A and B are shown apart, each in its own frame.
Chain A
Amino acid sequence: QVQLQESGPGLVKPSQTLSLTCTVPGGSISSGGYYWSWIRQHPGKGLEWIGYIYYSGSTYYNPSLKSRVTISVDTSKNQFSLKLTSVTAADTAVYFCAREDIVLMVYAAWGQGTLVTVSS
């Protein structure tokens, strides 16, 4: 089972930018066939889809976050990244990276999740 790995600061100050990276093992990010996604979960709450990127660089963002979100890909490092600007306490959540199979349209591979707290 492919295990993705999130990394980045666990604490971000209000109004600053949250930055996370997801490392994909095995050099598969350029193979096509997948959308590389970010999903978050507020403490004790459900799952919120943030957006995805294809290895070519094409993206789709949740309209609710679109003005603040950028997802990018670095195929040379087999990584993709999330930037969320102007964060507030409402952005405190566990952030998951996940792989969506383009054909089946399922998330069968996930990272373990990383808690990001927005606080001064």
Chain B
Amino acid sequence: DIQMTQSPSSLSASVGDRVTITCRASQTITSYLNWYQQKPGKAPKLLIYAASSLQSGVPSRFSGSGSGTDFTLSISSLQPEDFATYYCQQSYSTPRTFGQGTKVEIK
């Protein structure tokens, strides 16, 4: 199985801050990397697919980059509705695997 490791596990930030989350795969996954946002009691929501493509309807303050084994999700100016947990997920091979999550909290 491909292991996905996110860092940090949690972070505190203020509205307007730039936030960056890192995801590392245990082997190359080329660009088969997706990012999801999950709020308490809700299903995950797709933000970014294929490492850097913005899902329709997702605000442009979200962006993704990377290839191979190292990826980042950035939020350019954190908004109140962005406080949530973020997961990366590889779709390079089965079984699909997710990172352990990064919880973004209000400072």
Contact B99 A46 (CB under 8 A): yes
B69 at the A interface (CB under 8 A): no
Q: Which of A73-114 contact B (CB under 8 A)?
A: 96, 98, 100, 104-108, 110-113
Q: Number of contacts between A and B (CB, 8 Å)?
A: 53
- Taking Cβ atoms with an 8 Å cutoff, the residues of A that contact B are 46-49, 51, 60-64, 96, 98, 100, 104-108, 110-113
Q: Is the interface of B mostly helix, strand, loop or mixed?
A: loop
Identify which of B46, B50, B87, B91 contacts A47 (C-beta below 8 A).
Answer: B87
Q: Is the interface of A mostly helix, strand, loop or mixed?
A: strand
- Interface magnitude class on chain B: 20 to 34
Identify which of B46, B55, B97 contacts A49 (C-beta below 8 A).
Answer: B97
Contact A112 B43 (CB under 8 A): yes
